[in-house]
Structure 1
Amino acid sequence: MEIITLLLGIFGTGTAAGWWVIRNLYYICQPSEVLIFAGSRTPVDDKRSVGYRLVKGGSSIQVPLLEKTFRMDLTNMIIELRVSNAYSKGGIPLTVEGVANIKIAGEEPTIHNAIERLLGKSRKDIEQLAKDTLEGNLRGVLANLTPEQVNEDKITFAKTLLEEAEDDLEKLGLVLDNLQIKNIFDEVRYLDSIGRKQQAELLRDARIAEAQAKAEAIIKASENNRITKLRQIERDLEIAKAEAERRVRDALTKRTAVVAEVESVVHAQVARVQAEVAVQTERIKQVENQLQADVIAPAEAECQRAIAQAKGDAAKIIEEGKAQAAGTQCLAQSWQNAGASAKEIFIYQKLEPLLKIIATGVPEVKVENLTVIDTANGGSVPKMASFIEQLRQTTGVDITQVVNRLK
């Protein structure tokens, strides 16, 4: 790359020499090929190097005078294979026809084998080389297989051939993409006899299989008929069981309905009696409440009132008695303290208010008797005499005698 850059710097890109370099020394590599620039040393690994450089899927410029450019095609090559009189295991010559898809390896390190062995050869020469290699491998594989094995399992035969040829083709720098066996036959018609034998065996096996199939079909039909009859019997039995169960359910249902009806009547009667009991209970409570309100409560109230009134009257009487007793005791004490004059003092104490009451309460009366009194001793004597007389007549108290007694 340093040489390429140097050349472009020397010739330039705008001169005729630059255009000549681009036209004659600049190479573009197609995806289906590889460019080989021979003449320069390129290391392959740590131990060896090769005298060329590879360009795949890109472009490069050939170094003038130092390198030469080669193109190697990597597209598939279809090779028709035909091997005649290839002896198989057992000495039977066979003819095998097939087709193979081969291409030059495009990956390292196999591509180096292709460059060393196939560079400069034409595509026809490469195809012939690959064909000869595959036919040799095909003969080697046939020698290890019997005609029966080759004919019965072509896929295994092709796989074995592919594994056998892979190493030899890799040494040539080729890659076997696909291999198919199209036809296998022989001149002595051994395979035909094997085929006839196999056909006879197949026909025999087919007849045996047919007879076995018919016998199995008859047995199967008998078994199916037996199973069908058994299932029919089981179905009839199930139907009979279901019918019996239905009748039992109907009877149980009717019994349950009758019992439920009787129970409903009993429950209705019980409910009615319970309701009547509840009504009577409420009536009893109502009567009790009415009796309580109309008789007992008023009687209790009257009783309480009478008790309270009696208590009040008794208390009044007791208090009056106590007061009278206390007054009597006080009067007796005063009377005792007054000594002999106690009676007159008492009468004088009671006389003044009594006289006032009498004086205010004397109505006007008609004079029936007239008493003439001498007024020489004063004008109040007649009134006093009249008052004393009236007091004596009304109360029976003789003031004159009282006064005389006090004197």
Structure 2
Amino acid sequence: MEILVALLSLIGLGSGATLFVIRNLYYICQPSEVLIFAGSPTRTSDDRKVGYRLVKGGSSIRVPLLEQAFRMDLTNIIIELKVANAYSKGGIPLTVEGVANIKIAGEEPTIHNAIERLLGKTRQEIEQFAKETLEGNLRGVLASLTPEQVNEDKIAFAHSLLEEAEDDLEKLGLILDNLQIKNISDEVGYLDSLGRKQQADLIRDARIAEAQAKAESAIQTAENQKITALRRIERDIEISKAEAERRIQDALTKRVAMVTEAEAEIAAEVVRTQADVAVQNERIKQVQQQLQADVVAPAEAECKRAIAQAKGEASRIIEDGKAQAEGIKSLAESWQAAGTNARDIFLFQKLDVLMKILAESVPEVEVQNVTVIDTTTGNTAVNLASFLEQLRQTTGMDVPKLVRHLSGDKPDR
């Protein structure tokens, strides 16, 4: 820049010179490219001396006669890849089709490799270099993988290819942005048979998975039902516990209420009973007084009267006894005084009483005449004699003899 400034000062730039500088010496770098001014030695980031300077994203002025400007495009390059009859591991030839996105490196130190190897090359030439490099790497990767590995996991295959090609492309100053495998085929039908086998395996796995899914669904359903049933049982248990607790509380409350009510009733009854006791005491006194007046006093009077009557009766009995004793005593004295006739006199006295009794038992009749009939000719005399005999046998009293004794007749010998 110092040389340019000195040159412009020597020439004495005017408006025409300014326009010339802008048109031929002033360069603007687009974001998708890099400017390379060859002829000015500089040092790289790794302290390596090169004979050019780089401008990326900006502008710069080319030194006339000392520098030459080059543009390098950094946009993506799409490369169609197709490798035919590439032998895989196991000797099976495969055909692989893919697409890759590459670009020239825009950062140090890889950009220096691009400048050294690709500067001045057209995009077609760069694309061809990259394609040949990628196809070589693709064949190398296929040789290390079996057809099953290549066909089953295309993403892993592409990743392996990226790792394989990265170093080779970096040496060219290129960067592999993306790589997609579009198709893998073979002419001997190995992949088709493998595909049918895989399809059968897939169907089998699908059926197994479906059966497992149904079994797991049934198990999960049963488990859910068990959990639901357990939760329902737990809920019912909790409800029962709550209901039992509520009933216990209700029972306790009712018990307290009933006890309180019973205590109140008992207290009221006690008060009422106490009041009734006083009333009953007064009533007892009244009844006692009434009993004293109605029963006890008359009973005492009756008792006194009975006692007096009993004393009177006893006195009368005593007097009667005394009189009877006196009579008996007199009778005994009379009996002794009568001597041998005492017994007949006693019997005669008794006969008088007996005759009165017999006479009372006979109906009253009027007797106009008394006829005595001889015992030998009349029935009446027979009956009277029979009566006197019975009297003698039962009482021991001989009436005819007694009559004769009383009349002074001597008894028959």
Check whether TM > 0.5. yes
Q: How much does 1:204 deviate? A: 2.1
1:88–1:142 Cα contact (<8 Å) kept = yes
**Structure 1: which 5+ runs fail to align?**
269-407
- Letter in structure 1 aligned against 2:193: S
Equivalent-residue separation in structure 2 for 1:224 and 1:36 (angstroms): 73
1:8–1:18 Cα contact (<8 Å) kept = no
- Letter in structure 2 aligned against 1:107: E
Equivalent-residue separation in structure 1 for 2:230 and 2:25 (angstroms): 96
Which residue of structure 2 lines up, in the alignment, with residue 256 of structure 1? 256
2:42–2:51 Cα contact (<8 Å) kept = yes
Q: How much does 1:3 deviate? A: 1.5
Equivalent-residue separation in structure 2 for 1:173 and 1:124 (angstroms): 16
- Letter in structure 2 aligned against 1:95: T
- The C-alpha deviation readout for 1:134-175, integer Å capped at 9, x for no partner, is 111111111111111112222221111111111111111111
- Letter in structure 1 aligned against 2:3: I
- The C-alpha deviation readout for 1:288-312, integer Å capped at 9, x for no partner, is xxxxxxxxxxxxxxxxxxxxxxxxx
- Letter in structure 2 aligned against 1:51: G
Larger radius of gyration: 2
- The C-alpha deviation readout for 1:86-132, integer Å capped at 9, x for no partner, is 11111111122222111111112211111111111111111111111
Which residue of structure 1 lines up, in the alignment, with residue 115 of structure 2? 115
- Letter in structure 2 aligned against 1:158: A
Equivalent-residue separation in structure 2 for 1:62 and 1:231 (angstroms): 86
2:101–2:179 Cα contact (<8 Å) kept = yes
RMSD: 3.2
- Secondary structure of residue in 2 paired with 1:37: strand
Equivalent-residue separation in structure 2 for 1:160 and 1:46 (angstroms): 30
2:158–2:181 Cα contact (<8 Å) kept = yes
**Structure 2: which 5+ runs fail to align?**
269-413
Which residue of structure 2 lines up, in the alignment, with residue 149 of structure 1? 149
- Letter in structure 1 aligned against 2:91: G
Which residue of structure 1 lines up, in the alignment, with residue 22 of structure 2? 22
Equivalent-residue separation in structure 1 for 2:174 and 2:165 (angstroms): 10
Q: How does 1:150-169 map to 2 (within 5 A)?
A: 150-169=150-169
Residues 14 and 250 (structure 1 numbering): CA distance in 2 closer, same or farther, change over 3 Å?
A: same
The normalised TM-score by structure 2 is 0.58
Q: How much does 1:34 deviate? A: 1.3
Which residue of structure 2 lines up, in the alignment, with residue 37 of structure 1? 37
Q: How does 1:301-316 map to 2 (within 5 A)?
A: none
- The C-alpha deviation readout for 1:185-222, integer Å capped at 9, x for no partner, is 22222222112112212222333344444455556666
Which residue of structure 1 lines up, in the alignment, with residue 137 of structure 2? 137
Which residue of structure 1 lines up, in the alignment, with residue 187 of structure 2? 187
- Letter in structure 2 aligned against 1:197: K
Which residue of structure 2 lines up, in the alignment, with residue 84 of structure 1? 84
Q: Does 1:95 align with 2:95?
A: yes
Equivalent-residue separation in structure 2 for 1:244 and 1:47 (angstroms): 91
Equivalent-residue separation in structure 2 for 1:18 and 1:56 (angstroms): 24
Equivalent-residue separation in structure 1 for 2:151 and 2:185 (angstroms): 9
Equivalent-residue separation in structure 1 for 2:202 and 2:142 (angstroms): 26
- Letter in structure 1 aligned against 2:113: N
Equivalent-residue separation in structure 1 for 2:142 and 2:160 (angstroms): 10
Percent identical: 78
- The C-alpha deviation readout for 1:30-86, integer Å capped at 9, x for no partner, is 121111122233333787522222222222222222222211111111111111111
1:11–1:18 Cα contact (<8 Å) kept = no
Residues 263 and 209 (structure 1 numbering): CA distance in 2 closer, same or farther, change over 3 Å?
A: same
Which residue of structure 2 lines up, in the alignment, with residue 318 of structure 1? none
Residues 219 and 155 (structure 1 numbering): CA distance in 2 closer, same or farther, change over 3 Å?
A: closer
Which residue of structure 2 lines up, in the alignment, with residue 316 of structure 1? none
- Letter in structure 2 aligned against 1:143: A
Residues 22 and 218 (structure 1 numbering): CA distance in 2 closer, same or farther, change over 3 Å?
A: closer
2:45–2:108 Cα contact (<8 Å) kept = no
Residues 179 and 225 (structure 1 numbering): CA distance in 2 closer, same or farther, change over 3 Å?
A: closer
Which residue of structure 1 lines up, in the alignment, with residue 206 of structure 2? 206
Which residue of structure 1 lines up, in the alignment, with residue 62 of structure 2? 62
Q: Is the deviation greater in 203-212 or in 54-63?
A: 203-212
Which residue of structure 2 lines up, in the alignment, with residue 388 of structure 1? none
Residues 257 and 178 (structure 1 numbering): CA distance in 2 closer, same or farther, change over 3 Å?
A: same
- Secondary structure of residue in 1 paired with 2:126: helix
Q: How much does 1:7 deviate? A: 2.3
Equivalent-residue separation in structure 2 for 1:245 and 1:264 (angstroms): 28
Which residue of structure 2 lines up, in the alignment, with residue 11 of structure 1? 11
Q: Is the deviation greater in 155-164 or in 12-21?
A: 12-21
Residues 119 and 18 (structure 1 numbering): CA distance in 2 closer, same or farther, change over 3 Å?
A: same
Q: How does 1:299-338 map to 2 (within 5 A)?
A: none
Which residue of structure 2 lines up, in the alignment, with residue 403 of structure 1? none
1:13–1:19 Cα contact (<8 Å) kept = no
Q: Does 1:125 align with 2:110?
A: no
Which residue of structure 2 lines up, in the alignment, with residue 347 of structure 1? none
Equivalent-residue separation in structure 2 for 1:45 and 1:264 (angstroms): 109
- Letter in structure 1 aligned against 2:150: V
Q: Is the deviation greater in 3-12 or in 256-265?
A: 256-265
Residues 217 and 34 (structure 1 numbering): CA distance in 2 closer, same or farther, change over 3 Å?
A: closer
Q: How does 1:353-372 map to 2 (within 5 A)?
A: none
- Letter in structure 2 aligned against 1:26: Y
- Letter in structure 2 aligned against 1:159: H
- Letter in structure 2 aligned against 1:192: D
